[in-house]
Amino acid sequence: MPREFSKDLYWRIVYLYTDGLSTMDIANTLHMSKGVVNKIKKRYNRWACIINPFKGVPGRRKLFSRRDMTILRGLVREKVDWYLDELIYEMECLIGKRASIATLWSSLQYMGITRKKLQKAALERNEIVRAHYLATIGEHYTRNQLIFIDESAKDERSLSRLYGYSPRNTPA
């Protein structure tokens, strides 16, 4: 495969060409072949640029467009704890394109979204809820009616999802 030169070297060919140097002089000065110099001169004369404007993006054609990726990013931001198959179904409903799990995963990686353990704040941290609970208990019950059990590991949300998706360096 031929060696690719930098853009500034290509522009140097154009500058030397507009200064009136011959193809051979430019090739000798920049230590490259005459073919490369001729190719860049021809491209510059034809399209006024040094990079081929019709050259496609290398690799396989992407399934999701920029707009689709924006929609996917918004979905992940809203629904942090969704599974990939749920995201696929929602994307199909929104944009009409069915993607595989691998395609969706690579799109998430491309956007810098990673899988993380979710951080859930304890319900007891909410001061307002705690104060309401204490007021209700104090109002309706006496000391003799209360029984205390250690349920520190009990939480109504313990069966919910433990992992979610969020951009790099941000908690989920």
Residue 172 lies in a domain: no
pLDDT of residue 122: 61
Structural domain count of the chain: 2
Would you say residue 10 has pLDDT above 50?
A: yes
Residue 135 lies in a domain: no
Of the two residues 62 and 1, the one the predictor is more confident about is 62
The answer to whether residues 72 and 42 belong to one domain is no
| 52 close to 132: Cβ distance less than 8 angstroms | no
- H helices of the chain, in order, are 7-18, 23-30, 34-47, 66-78, 84-95, 101-110, 127-140
Of the two residues 33 and 137, the one the predictor is more confident about is 33
Would you say residue 60 has pLDDT above 80?
A: no
Per the structure, the complete domain to which residue 102 belongs is given by 66-117+161-167
Residue 58 lies in a domain: no
The answer to whether residues 42 and 75 belong to one domain is no
The answer to whether residues 109 and 73 belong to one domain is yes
Q: Is the pTM of this model over 0.75?
A: no
Residue 59 lies in a domain: no
Would you say residue 1 has pLDDT above 50?
A: no
pLDDT of residue 93: 92
